[in-house]
Structure 1
């Protein structure tokens, strides 16, 4: 009997141990992507962890405590030029793992978790924003973060768009601006979206070129051209190597009161000889599904669409107003796409000689004309080499700019004073 009891006890102990081990979180790696004003830390974990984040002074550091976790991989170290961190280290404290990032500047932060997708497993993400130089008078007390209960599904859900775009390095546009000509009016605002970014590299060329890198370079060159044009202003959706949720990209454009949204990409195909540029607008099917989403969501229904509120209208009338707004937006999108496509004819072959339509999510703003430009096929060795050339990046940016300028010369918004178009 005693032997049986001892065997039962050992079996129970093994079962208990296995359950404890099964609940432990493995921290496999830590990576980060940064721009001058933002940084994203992505921690690869075996399961969604309980965690706490705090800022500690003297010395200034960001502390991440992950419950019931252990480090199984290596933590990437920041380069000496990193804008926020000087070093990152980890230590085991009983069952908890502590990750510490020594700070160079004051930061704001937010954390959320991401569920597995085709490329990655579970992730704990910490987004940091620059709050300015460190001050000797900073309080030494810890400031705990309020953990965000976000998931990928919630992050992509429709939200109110009357948010400050300063989170992404942009700012809402004033109602009136004074142009260099001295006449009253506002600038034409063009939102430029460099596709992919951060943990999403996009397509890869045969030589290893990442789409996210070359399209950001093109987007920055395009922004510089637009900002050099009197009466026009560019807003970059992302300014560095970090990922922006697809709906968030739309929100940034709307918060900046953009007159046009341009998403820049580099195409890929399994056959290496396929080449050429393409320009896309939203398909009618994509517009219909987005209209249903806006009308079904109580928060979106309270937003402005083409200057008309929908929350106080009957459902049928709201549907008609939204349809009118979308129809005008799709027509404007088609017109600007034709101008850009025509401009591309002068710098090389086109993959499609007419404007294409697709249901890309970033094109679904119901009141902002939106186009997506596939600048070339990164899967084509010749076009990959060109995409890596700063001169050819400028050529692509100039082609897009000339198409945009030509469009706004023909269709100038009534409340703007655009000089020298």
Structure 2
């Protein structure tokens, strides 16, 4: 009997100890989520409250150690190997420096820079500690190769298609739980497919999956791809469900001027914007005003082109959906920051509006919206093809017939009459076959 009492006493004491430890802890770690991108990885620690943390790195092997003060595990965590990440091998627990601290170790596959920051509750998420790992960036010398594109002939027009948000950033959330990031990616992918079907145009996706790309990094990736245009796809939202309609935004004067000033302070970027001329000017102190003039001219040209493309896109969107604004709007947004690349941001509708949320979830509507953006871009470049491009060399484009396409569908896409297409291709009937290449004359 005494033996049983002793066991009961120790069991109760152990239980009270666990309860007191949890009660003293000001925070709990509830889950760990990982979002892997091609050259970066985001690790998100979901917590019950705002985190208090310290971190340091260790090498041989490479790892990041994070100490969460006054924190315990909220539940057993699934900390498994992450083979899909190019940088993160696994996340594990380690012996803490003191009982009230929860120590986490992120084992890395290679050396990487880590950026840590906390985020307050938003949407479906509570308090979070976010760690962004990035591997070494492309060197400036590599980026600058062939920067003078006027020497290139018969090249493709490059369109950088950016799907907004991604990964841990869901964007706006609709009344029925639709995430903006998913809608934006679906429309962006459909747009890229349509652009890539045109001979003389190549589309690149800024993000190719469900992961987050830093806003400033998006324009950097477009520049590295030597993009002629950057199109960012989003869905709008408001605090009430009434607002509706699509809109298109372009770079504001204020943002353009501040970006130009920042670039002038960073001489290593000038050559990226101006090619060989930039290298000559930036090394000549007495000619600094020429550098500013050249960048100013580049900025004016890109903003003018961006506005014209935006106007075309808005006109086409008006044929498939309601418009919130009938003219392009100016904005000081992070993704609209490149003075050298024409850039526009397309708000495809209000995801906070129940009717438009339902439309934006529809694959058929996504195709219509992507088609409208495509038509606006194509019509612009058919009228103003950049010098040295295949579209500038030929007065027509080539289209490869896809499954489900008819001559009337292709005619509507390019805004060219059926008779004009038949004449350009010597067709005697309206019948086309999958895989057939058609010459599309300019509208």
- Whether the TM-score (by the shorter chain) exceeds 0.5 is yes
Residue 233 (structure 1) aligned with residue 216 (structure 2) = no
Which residue does the alignment assign to 2:168?
Answer: 199
Pick aligned residue for 2:298 from 318, 325, 330: 325
Distance 1:75 1:192 in 2: 40
Residue 408 (structure 1) aligned with residue 381 (structure 2) = yes
Which string of whole-angstrom CA distances, capped at 9 and with x for unpartnered residues, describes residues 2-40 of structure 1? xxxxxxxxxxxxxxxxxxx99x99756422223577642
Distance 1:75 1:256, change over 3 A: farther
Which secondary structure state, in structure 1, belongs to the residue aligned with residue 335 of structure 2? helix
Q: Normalization by structure 1: what TM-score? A: 0.71
Which one has a bigger Cα radius of gyration?
2
Pick aligned residue for 2:117 from 109, 114, 117: 114
Which residue does the alignment assign to 1:92?
Answer: 95
Contact conserved, 1:161 with 1:255, CA < 8 A, in 2?
A: no
User: Higher helix fraction: Structure 1 or Structure 2?
Assistant: 2
Which string of whole-angstrom CA distances, capped at 9 and with x for unpartnered residues, describes residues 376-400 of structure 1? 0101101101111122112211111
Which string of whole-angstrom CA distances, capped at 9 and with x for unpartnered residues, describes residues 56-100 of structure 1? 6xxxxx865335755444576489997359985534355475546
Distance 1:373 1:88, change over 3 A: same
Shift in Å, 1:328 = 0.7
Shift in Å, 1:318 = 2.2
Contact conserved, 2:245 with 2:349, CA < 8 A, in 1?
A: yes
Q: 1:121-270 residue pairs with structure 2 within 5 A?
A: 123-127=129-133, 162=140, 185-270=154-239
Q: Normalization by structure 2: what TM-score? A: 0.68
Distance 1:36 1:409 in 2: 33
For structure 1, which segment, 67-76 or 346-355, has the greater mean C-alpha deviation from structure 2 after superposition? 67-76
Which residue does the alignment assign to 2:42?
Answer: 40
Distance 1:294 1:35 in 2: 27
CA RMSD of aligned residues (A): 3.9
Contact conserved, 2:55 with 2:64, CA < 8 A, in 1?
A: no
Give structure 1 stretches of 5+ with no counterpart. 1-20, 57-61, 130-147, 149-158, 166-171, 177-182
Distance 1:325 1:331, change over 3 A: same
Which string of whole-angstrom CA distances, capped at 9 and with x for unpartnered residues, describes residues 352-378 of structure 1? 111111122211211111111000010
For structure 1, which segment, 405-414 or 27-36, has the greater mean C-alpha deviation from structure 2 after superposition? 27-36
Distance 1:328 1:36 in 2: 32
Which string of whole-angstrom CA distances, capped at 9 and with x for unpartnered residues, describes residues 180-217 of structure 1? xxx96221111111112223221111111111121011
Which secondary structure state, in structure 2, belongs to the residue aligned with residue 291 of structure 1? helix
Task: Count residues with an aligned counterpart.
Answer: 354
Which residue does the alignment assign to 1:151?
Answer: none
Contact conserved, 1:247 with 1:361, CA < 8 A, in 2?
A: yes
Which residue does the alignment assign to 1:152?
Answer: none
Shift in Å, 1:230 = 1.5
Contact conserved, 2:35 with 2:42, CA < 8 A, in 1?
A: yes
